Structure 1
Amino acid sequence: MDYSDDYQYPEYNYSYEDNFTLPNKLVFQHKPKCLQEVLCVSLLVVSVIIFLLGFCGNALVIWISGFKMKKTVNTTWYLSLAISDFIFCAFLPFSITNMAMEEWFFGRFMCKFTSSVMFLNMFSSIFLLVIISVDRCISVMFPVWAQNQRTVKKATIVVVLAWFLAITLSIPSLIFRDVGSHLGRTICFNNYTLNQHSHKIVALSRFLAGFIVPFIIIIICYSVIILKLRTSRMTKSSKPFKVMSALVAAFFVCWLPYHVFVLLEMNYRNYDHSILIIGLKIGTFMAAANSFFNPVLYVFMGNDFKQKFKSSVLSKMENAMGEEGRTTSRYLSRSSSMDGRASTHI
Structure 2
Amino acid sequence: MTEENSLPFINDFSTTLGALILGFVFLVGVPGNLFIVWSILARIRRHSVTTFLILNLACADGFLMALTLFFVIYLAKQSWVFGIVMCKGVFYLCNTNMYASIFLITLMSLHRLVAVLLPTKVSLIASPRIAKRVVVGMWALVFIISIPSLVFRNIRIDEDEMGKPRMVCVPNHTLYAFETVSGFILPYAVIITSYVLILRRLRQTQFRKKVRSEKLILAIVVTFGIFWLPYHVINMIQVFNSLNMYRLSSSLDHIWQSSRAVTSALAFISSCANPVLYTFAGKSYIRQNGFAFMARLLEGTSLDQGTKKGRSPNSESNVGLNNVVSNGNGGVSTPNEDNTG
Q: TM-score, normalised by structure 2?
A: 0.75
- For the pair 1:299 / 2:279, whether they are aligned, the reply is yes
- For the pair 1:51 / 2:3, whether they are aligned, the reply is no
- For the pair 1:174 / 2:150, whether they are aligned, the reply is yes
Q: CA deviation at 1:149?
A: 4.6
Residues 145 and 41 of structure 1: CA distance in aligned 2, closer, same or farther (over 3 Å): same
Higher relative contact order (CA 8 A, sep 6+): 2
Residues 253 and 187 of structure 1: CA distance in aligned 2, closer, same or farther (over 3 Å): same
* Inter-partner Cα distance in structure 1 for 2:286 and 2:4: 46
Q: CA deviation at 1:311?
A: 4.5
Q: CA deviation at 1:205?
A: 2.8
- For the pair 1:276 / 2:256, whether they are aligned, the reply is yes
* Inter-partner Cα distance in structure 2 for 1:155 and 1:304: 30
Q: Are 1:81 and 1:124, in contact at CA under 8 Å, matched by a contact in 2? A: yes
* Inter-partner Cα distance in structure 2 for 1:154 and 1:313: 28
Q: Residue 121 of structure 2: SS of its match in structure 1?
A: helix
Q: Are 1:240 and 1:302, in contact at CA under 8 Å, matched by a contact in 2? A: no
Matches within 5 A, 1:126-205: 126-183=102-159, 184-190=165-171, 192=172, 199-200=173-174, 202-205=175-178
Which region of structure 1 is more displaced relative to structure 2, 125-134 or 65-74?
A: 65-74
Match of 2:217 among 244, 254, 261: 244
Q: Are 1:108 and 1:178, in contact at CA under 8 Å, matched by a contact in 2? A: yes
- For the pair 1:39 / 2:14, whether they are aligned, the reply is yes
Aligned length: 281
Which region of structure 1 is more displaced relative to structure 2, 284-293 or 146-155?
A: 146-155
Q: Are 2:227 and 2:267, in contact at CA under 8 Å, matched by a contact in 1? A: yes
Using the aligned pairs only, state the percent identity: 28
Q: Deviations over 1:249-284 (max 9, x none)?
A: 111111111111111112146233422222322221
Q: CA deviation at 1:309?
A: 6.7
Residue 181 of structure 2 corresponds to 208
Q: CA RMSD in A?
A: 2.6
AA at the equivalent of 2:211: S
Larger Rg belongs to: 1
* Inter-partner Cα distance in structure 1 for 2:43 and 2:279: 14
Q: Where do 5+ consecutive residues of structure 2 fail to align? A: 160-164, 295-341
* Inter-partner Cα distance in structure 1 for 2:203 and 2:59: 35
- For the pair 1:78 / 2:84, whether they are aligned, the reply is no
Residue 97 of structure 1 corresponds to 73
* Inter-partner Cα distance in structure 2 for 1:303 and 1:150: 29
Q: Where do 5+ consecutive residues of structure 1 fail to align? A: 14-33, 193-198, 315-346
